[in-house]
Amino acid sequence: MKRARARRSAPPARRHPAAEAVQPDNSPALTPDTLAVGARHLEVGGELVASFAVTGFPREVHPGWLQPLLTYPGRVDVSLHVEPIDPVTAARRLKRQLAKLESGRRYREERGRLLDQYVEAATEDAYDLSARVARGEGKLFRLGLYLTVHAASRQELETEVAAVRALAASLLLDAKPTSYRSLQGWVTCLPLGLDQVRMRRTFDTSALAAAFPFTSPDLPPADPTTVAAAPAGVLYGYNTASQGLVHWDRFALDNHNSVILGHSGAGKSYLLKLELLRSLYRGIEIHVIDPEDEYARLTHAVGGTYLHLGADGVRLNPFDLPLYTREDGRRTAPKDALVRRALFLHTVISVLLGTGLTPAERAVLDRAITLTYQQAGITSDPRTWTRPAPLLADLASVLEESKTRAANDLAARLDPYVRGAFSGLFNGPTTTRPEGHLVAYSLRDLAEELKPIGTLLTLDTVWRQVSNPALRRPRLVAVDEAWLLMKEPAGADFLFRMAKGFRKRWAGLTVATQDTADVLGSELGKAVVANAATQILLRQAPQAIDEITATFNLSEGEREFLLAADRGQGLLAAGTQRVSFEAIASPAEHHLITTDPAELAAYAEHGATAAGTESYLDLDSGSDVHTFDADPDDSVDLDAR
């Protein structure tokens, strides 16, 4: 193939006198040294370029429909040239086009020929467009879409051209090479505003707006000039619109709270466990309140602490003072720790009894709590706060020894929790210190009568860990199936307190629930949702979609997406930014977080977690999965990458 080689130089340009002082005379020109023009490509300097003009478009487009071209991993220039059409000319052209289409339809009908479906669709679109232009709902524009592919060699150029044309075809775009006009095609894609190919198509306002780059369905990227330009946060999955990855950093927002709402089976727990597991890789401390006992395998796999309330020998003492252990080993406490604990015990007794306390009962109880601590050697002197805390049985004994009727009545009502059937949770000091990088609190085996107090004690334990001023580190507190806690007033109040106060303590609250109506139907539930900067909506039931649409101001397209979403697909909303995504997990992560009974049965049948083995994740690398047999010296690397 013959090529014409020419040398181009920049024409002399006017320069400001001040520029002479800062720009040397021997500065390189902005134009390439050489330019070789071929039939279908150019050699510009040391690289090859090929240009294309898009001549065929899909009938309907959605916002961000050009995003796959903009996020193509190779170097591709995408150029849009827009020219408005004045209303008079637009009306005349539409009238002429409609006349042609109608004439063709009548010609075929008169001769008994079959209807052309493409012509029928074009006629409908022309009528619709003509009506919207006539009502002033839109205008017409001439749009030219051009692509330029860059490569370093001939073979690489052919590969890139084939890939870009295939990508364009997947978007229903017909990209034609600018044969024998390769120079004009390259100039058209330069940021000069020159369209020398002039292969255009008529667009209306809505279709043109959807073609602009700022309608990208991806989340806003970081400033490329900053050090934090690389993706930060947690990988949630891939973008269903652009196929790009969705990274999100909750700790970079105004508050670190998150809410996950979805229908039963939509993948809430799966997504939550995936986020928590990947947050551990970043050094974030995790606390999980697990009403359904779903986090045991994950907790054991990463070497976390699993607190199984309701099991034999597992106890939480409500009289424990909030003592904080600093990094130097010293133990400290807030100045008003004893007073705050006494007030909290009023709430504990109210929840145990199931009714509010009368003023007389409160007065008696307050004196009894103070006397109980004094009998244990704990006074207002902070030096005594490290002594063993008293128990609920000690408080009952003090009440029994009192001469008042109100005290004896309180002691009698507390007897089931001190000596009776419900005493297992309180008949001793706290057995397990909830410390570690992952702490899970299981509430499944608690009796229904103990669920409210178990929830209250668990939330209080979590709050003491998060509010520890001696250790400053990022933390996440996850409440799965939060509707079970929202039913209890004490649980709802604590969730609201966490949502309000976690930001100042470098912590984030994650609330996941399937009972969306109950959460949004209460004032506290709405407050928890309103205080979540990150909101994730998974598949919704038709009965709840109206309330979800009104609460989150969803568009019609987002509403239909949530109704038809597959398992694991959802909408991530953060302020004005929204992106549809699908959660993805590696095989090792999937094995730890899945709750599908069929998969768990298959794992057990095929020995995926054989007896006598223990699986764990190496959190330092974030990728290796190992299994250790009964002999700890024998290790097998299952997934070394």
DSSP 510-539: EEEES-HHHHHTSHHHHHHHHT-SEEEEE-
Q: What is the pLDDT of residue 221?
A: 55
Ramachandran quadrant class, 289 (left: phi over 0; alpha: psi -120 to 50; beta: rest):
beta
Dist. CA 308–CA 432, nearest whole Å:
10
285 DSSP β-pair partners? 475
In the 8-state DSSP scheme, what is residue 378?
A: -
In this structure, which CATH number among 1.10.238.10, 1.10.10.10, 1.10.8.730, 3.40.50.720 belongs to the domain 317-429? 1.10.8.730
Task: Collect the ranges in the chain with pLDDT lower than 70.
Answer: 1-30, 115-120, 134-137, 213-232, 242-243, 323-333, 470, 483-491, 517-518, 521, 607-641
Contact 186, 51 (CB under 8 A): yes
CA dist 398 and 46 (Å) reads 91
Token pair in block for residue 258: 């998150």
pLDDT confidence of residue 511: 85
Q: Is the Cβ–Cβ distance between 214 and 187 less than 8 Å?
A: no
pLDDT at 640: 31
pLDDT tens per residue across span 167-186: 999 888 999 999 999 999 99
Question: What topology does CATH give the domain 253-307+436-595?
Answer: Rossmann fold (3.40.50)
**Residue 84 has which token pair?**
């408005």
Q: Are strands 625-628 and 614-617 parallel, antiparallel or unpaired?
A: antiparallel
pLDDT reported for residue 111: 76
Residues 123, 31 contacting (CB under 8 angstroms): no
Decide if 126 contacts 59 (C-beta within 8 A): no
Under 8 Å between Cβ of 305 and 432: yes
Q: Return the pLDDT at 48.
A: 92
Dihedral angle of Cα 403, 404, 409, 411, to the nearest 10 degrees: -50
Please give the Cα distance from 296 to 14 (Å, whole number).
73
